[in-house]
Chain A
Amino acid sequence: MTDRKMITLTIEGRQVQVPEGTSMLEAARSAGVLIPHYCYHPGLPVAGVCRMCLVEVEKAPKLAPACATAVADGQVIHVHSDKAREARTGVLEMLLINHPLDCPICDQSGECELQDYTYAEGRKSSRYREAKRFNPVEDFGGDVLYVPNRCILCTRCVRFMDDVAHDPVLNVSERGDRAVIGKFEDQDLTHPWAGNVVDLCPVGALLSKDFLNKARSWDLDRAASICPNCSQGCNATLETRDNVVVRIRPRPNDEVNRYFLCDEGRLDYRWLNRRDRIEYPHVRRDHALAPVEWEIAVDAAAVALRGRQAFVLASPGLSNETLFLLARIRDRTGGRGAFRVRQGAEAPLPGVPDLALRADRAANGRGAELLGFSRSETPLEGLRNGDVLIVADEELAGIDPASVATAVARAASIIVVGTTLPAWASGAAVVLPVANMAEEDGTFTNLRGRVQRYLQAKQAPGLVRPAWSALGDLLTALGESALYFLPSDVFAALAAAVPAFAGLDYDRLGLVGVPVAGDGAATAAAGALVGAAP
């Protein structure tokens, strides 16, 4: 990129410098000018089929499609001149000829580019009096529903399946005003990344069955987050309605996931809304767990740990901050720690380098390794007689509960620091209820060693606190200086103590993350905001 010739041009009266070969649309974006567009998407090859991006170029005989025209030196481009606006109004009128205008029952309403541009530049009323074309709703398989009446034939979905997923399932069937998106016979949108067509579709033609009729886009609260479901660490946005996570959508990051999110990641969010949470701290009194104040529970945990070695059974879904504090408790007592990562089939997205749904189905296995926890399929093996077992939000799902119970019986006592209380840990001496990843701020380290922040998306129930805060108190009760008021304080302590994280802080991480020191993949331009922020 750097050795390419730079070109200077004027867009809407603003001078911009871009490398040779840049399209007008991208050049305008770098100048902060939005050129309306439908078929163009930064993650897909250019098609130039919708003609929405027409702009006026001085001294050129006719309007140019901005997405498919490269800039030239000294060009003067007008996006909002009368001629360009008139052309786009015409394009919109054509698009709306067969459009049902069923916004009240359309899931896209409120985040629809057809609505937005029609509102901005469309005609006030329709001149079309004939009956509209009608096609029934079609189930495209996977999570995708196709509503052909709303389709504007931008072909983003076709290009995604052809050029990014390399699984050509979709096509443009029929011609002219009868054209619709078709599916090749006996094939379904079951590619593990096919759900992205729902986000790519600029209108409400491709819908998620999971999200169907659930919420209005303007009712949702959004938080920048990281997909917690595998070690790839795709950047995501958690969307909540009334404190319930209802959707996960991709957040652009050129270094990790570009504009995409896999189906498993985007659909596996219900555990963030679990109802069987422990909501209050508990300590064992008279053979039963009794709810108590936080101070009492933390002191009881400190008493249980005194003079004993801790064995930390950590979840690889915990934040770096929490794992760091657990590691300090572990090291202070001369104990050990282990974690187990649930495995699944790996599913790459061929069109994007180094992007796949990873076999490790947890976000922070790498962070746990960097902080000295050992990975094991049978993590309780290292538990010795007389250890204090600290169960850090791990349920050991999929392992025979009876064998877990016998292993756990070796422990002198059990401290649960978690969102739930697994049956095999019901003999715990102390239970500290903590927030899940949607309810706290923190960082994950992905499999390439990239440290990325996630922000709180919803409120935690009951007296639940973030794990870093509870463990900070526990460390203080054990006699260390660990007074933390913010997760960034914990991260600062982590950066100071662990060489791999040296020099990092929340400001440097930004919202796109930075690779840890000394990592092979550490070449990326750190912190630079890439792609369009949503």
Chain B
Amino acid sequence: MAINVKVLARPVEDVSYVRATLKGMALTFRHLVDPHKVTVQYPEQRDELSPRWRGTHRMLTTEDGKAKCVACGLCPTVCPANCIKLVPGEDEQGNRYPLVFEIDEFRCIFCGYCQEVCPEEAIHVGRHYENSEYSREGFVYDLERLVSQTHAVCEMWDPTDPRGE
């Protein structure tokens, strides 16, 4: 069955590939003579992360090294990925404290809600992205692991300009 194909008359300068090819080649040559660097020599070299980068979590501690978390239950409630497991209980002094606090970093979508909701400034998302483990279970961070992380944490807002003005 014959189809009537309509052939549009288009200006040659719009459809010609010559110009585009020359443009690309020009860029290549420019880089050849002026080697300004676009490649980061990772891991010897690292880009600086934004202060609002949201990566793997870290639990901040009080002066005596205990997690600041009081097991209020807000972060497991707000977490959209449902990846925080919390069993509230008491510590040796009878203060409210998490018996179990686990974050599944595989399920986490790094939204940072947990940091935002935490009334104790305990749980934080970190300025950190290098994760590797030998097993999937390794990505379920328990309280001990969260407390022992040392990377910088996310700054949700600029402390000098909290309203972003």
- Residues of A within 8 Å of B71, CB to CB, are 213
A213 touches B72 (CB 8 A): no
- Residues of A within 8 Å of B95, CB to CB, are 105
The 4 closest A-B pairs by CB, nearest first: A104-B72, A216-B73, A105-B96, A104-B119
Q: Which of A368-418 contact B (CB under 8 A)?
A: none
A216 touches B119 (CB 8 A): no
A105 to chain B, nearest CB (A): 4
A213 touches B96 (CB 8 A): yes
- Residues of A within 8 Å of B89, CB to CB, are 213-214
- Interface contacts (Cβ under 8 Å), in number, total 30
A36 and B59 alpha carbons, distance in the complex (Å): 39
Q: Which of A100-154 contact B (CB under 8 A)?
A: 103-105, 109
A-B contact pairs, 12 of them (CB 8 A): A103-B119, A104-B74, A104-B119, A105-B72, A105-B95, A109-B72, A213-B88, A213-B96, A214-B89, A216-B72, A216-B73, A219-B77
Q: Which of A105, A214, A215 has the most CB of B within 10 A?
A: A105
Q: Which of A165-215 contact B (CB under 8 A)?
A: 212-215
A212 and B95 alpha carbons, distance in the complex (Å): 10
A218 at the interface (CB under 8 A from B): yes
A104 touches B77 (CB 8 A): no
From known contacts A216-B77, A218-B77, infer whether A104 and B88 are also in contact, taking CB-CB under 8 Å: no
Main secondary structure of the interface of A (DSSP, over half): loop
A335 and B16 alpha carbons, distance in the complex (Å): 101
A218 and B78 alpha carbons, distance in the complex (Å): 12
- Residues of A within 8 Å of B70, CB to CB, are 104-105
A109 and B74 alpha carbons, distance in the complex (Å): 11
Q: Give per-residue flags for B57-100: 1 if the beta carbon is below 8 A from chain A beta carbons, else 0.
A: 00000000000001111100100000000001110000110000
- Residues of A within 8 Å of B88, CB to CB, are 213-216
A215 and B119 alpha carbons, distance in the complex (Å): 18
B144 at the interface (CB under 8 A from A): no
How many of chain A's residues touch chain B, expressed as a range?
A: 10 to 19
B116 at the interface (CB under 8 A from A): no
B115 to chain A, nearest CB (A): 15
A170 and B88 alpha carbons, distance in the complex (Å): 31
- Residues of B within 8 Å of A105, CB to CB, are 70, 72, 95-96
A104 and B88 alpha carbons, distance in the complex (Å): 11
- Residues of B within 8 Å of A213, CB to CB, are 71, 88-90, 96
A105 and B120 alpha carbons, distance in the complex (Å): 10
- Of all chain A residues, the one with the shortest Cβ separation from B88 is A213
Q: Which of B125-139 contact A (CB under 8 A)?
A: none
- Of all chain B residues, the one with the shortest Cβ separation from A212 is B90
Q: Which of B70, B73, B77, B90 has the most CB of A within 10 A?
A: B73
- Residues of A within 8 Å of B77, CB to CB, are 216, 218-219
- Residues of B within 8 Å of A219, CB to CB, are 73, 77
- Residues of A within 8 Å of B72, CB to CB, are 103-105, 109, 216
Q: Give per-residue flags for B12-48: 1 if the beta carbon is below 8 A from chain A beta carbons, else 0.
A: 0000000000000000000000000000000000000
A365 to chain B, nearest CB (A): 38
- Of all chain A residues, the one with the shortest Cβ separation from B77 is A218
A213 and B72 alpha carbons, distance in the complex (Å): 9
A504 to chain B, nearest CB (A): 42
A212 and B97 alpha carbons, distance in the complex (Å): 12
- Residues of A within 8 Å of B96, CB to CB, are 104-105, 213
- Of all chain A residues, the one with the shortest Cβ separation from B122 is A104
From known contacts A213-B71, A216-B73, infer whether A104 and B120 are also in contact, taking CB-CB under 8 Å: yes
- Residues of B within 8 Å of A218, CB to CB, are 73, 77
- Of all chain A residues, the one with the shortest Cβ separation from B73 is A216
- Of all chain A residues, the one with the shortest Cβ separation from B99 is A213
A103 and B72 alpha carbons, distance in the complex (Å): 8
B76 to chain A, nearest CB (A): 8
A135 and B54 alpha carbons, distance in the complex (Å): 41
A215 and B88 alpha carbons, distance in the complex (Å): 7
Q: Give per-residue flags for A207-246: 1 if the beta carbon is below 8 A from chain B beta carbons, else 0.
A: 0000011111011000000000000000000000000000
Give 20 new A-B contacts, CB below 8 A, not counting A104-B119, A219-B73, A219-B77. A103-B72, A103-B119, A104-B72, A104-B96, A104-B120, A105-B70, A105-B72, A105-B95, A105-B96, A109-B72, A212-B90, A213-B71, A213-B88, A213-B90, A213-B96, A214-B88, A214-B89, A216-B72, A216-B77, A218-B77
A214 and B96 alpha carbons, distance in the complex (Å): 9
